[in-house]
């Protein structure tokens, strides 16, 4: 049985709150994780905006451990693992939890490019609000600054010559247009 009218769920990232752009979700539910509140300074304008969103129905939900593991695994494959904060991982994992529910349509609201990159790899919809959306899905790696050897995984010191490495894009593919 296919459910046609899925509940639209916006998973709110810190960048959505910090943007200062009003968030209006009359046609959807809003969720986020407790890590997001820890990224906001209590008493500041952004924290007040966050409290306002809670009053308007923003739910704070913890993601499942299974979804966190899925996100960590996928972010290791894309090379974004070290680029994501705990809050970023939790936001992605919460979206995975929502996506696994056949009655819900999860959409992450973020301008964070690493979150967008991993979300695209997880086939989770993204909406941006200030910055342009990513147009390519990247895989990150690194290159030794000494011997120039490329590595698919992110390592800090080259095992061949001992020099430091620099993060690079090892590959990129165009993202298909999503409806």
**pLDDT tens-place string over residues 19-66:** 877 777 778 899 999 998 888 888 888 888 888 889 888 999 999 999
Cβ neighbors of 127 (< 8 A, separation 6 or more) are 10, 107, 108, 109
Per the document, the length of the chain is 179
Residue 1 lies in a domain: no
Find all residues with CB under 8 Å of 18, minimum gap 6, and list them: 46
Are β-strands 7-12 and 29-32 bridged in parallel, bridged antiparallel, or unpaired?
A: parallel
Q: What is the pLDDT of residue 134?
A: 65
Note whether 94 and 152 are same-domain residues. Answer: no
Split at pLDDT 50, 70, 90, the class of 119 is: very high
CA geometry: angle at 39 spanning 18 and 97, to 5°?
A: 90
Q: 50 and 16, same structural domain?
A: yes
Q: Is 92 domain-assigned? A: yes
In a domain, 20, yes or no: yes
Percent of the chain, pLDDT > 70?
89
pLDDT band at 1 (very low <50, low <70, confident <90, very high): very low
102 within domain boundaries: yes
Give helix 113-121 / helix 86-100 axis angle, nearest 10°.
30
Cβ-based neighbour number of residue 42 at 10 Å: 10
Domain count within the chain:
2
If asked whether residues 57 and 113 sit together in one domain, one would say yes
* CA–CA separation, 134 and 126 (whole Å): 10
Q: Which residues contact 28 (CB under 8 A, 6 or more apart)?
A: 7, 8, 9, 10, 107
Q: Is the pLDDT of residue 139 over 50?
A: yes
Range(s) of the domain holding residue 15: 7-127
Token duo for residue 118:
């991993």
- The pTM (predicted TM-score) of the whole model is 0.78
Residue 84 above 50 pLDDT?
A: yes
Measure the CA–CA gap between 23 and 31, rounded to whole angstroms.
12
Residues 12 and 37 in one domain: yes
Calculate what percentage of the chain has a pLDDT beyond 90: 34
pLDDT of residue 142: 79
Q: Mind listing the pLDDT tens digit for each residue in 145-174?
A: 988 888 877 788 899 888 888 877 766 676
């Amino acid at each position: 049985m296919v459910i046609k009218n899925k509940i639209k769920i916006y998973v709110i990232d810190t960048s959505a709150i910090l943007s200062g752009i009003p968030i209006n979700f009359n046609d959807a539910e809003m969720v986020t994780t407790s890590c997001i509140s820890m990224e906001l300074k209590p008493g500041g304008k952004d924290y007040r905006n966050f409290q306002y969103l809670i009053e308007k129905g923003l739910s704070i939900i913890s993601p499942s451990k299974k979804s966190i593991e899925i996100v960590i695994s996928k972010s290791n494959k894309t090379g974004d693992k070290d680029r994501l904060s705990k809050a970023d991982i939790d936001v992605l994992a919460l979206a995975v939890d929502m996506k696994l529910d056949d009655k819900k349509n999860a959409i992450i609201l973020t301008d964070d490019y690493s979150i967008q990159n991993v979300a695209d790899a997880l086939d989770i919809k993204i909406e941006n609000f200030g910055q342009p959306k990513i147009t390519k899905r990247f895989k990150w790696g690194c290159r030794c600054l000494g011997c120039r050897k490329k590595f698919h995984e992110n390592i800090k010191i080259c095992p061949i010559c001992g020099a430091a490495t620099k993060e690079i894009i090892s590959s990129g593919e165009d993202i298909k247009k999503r409806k």
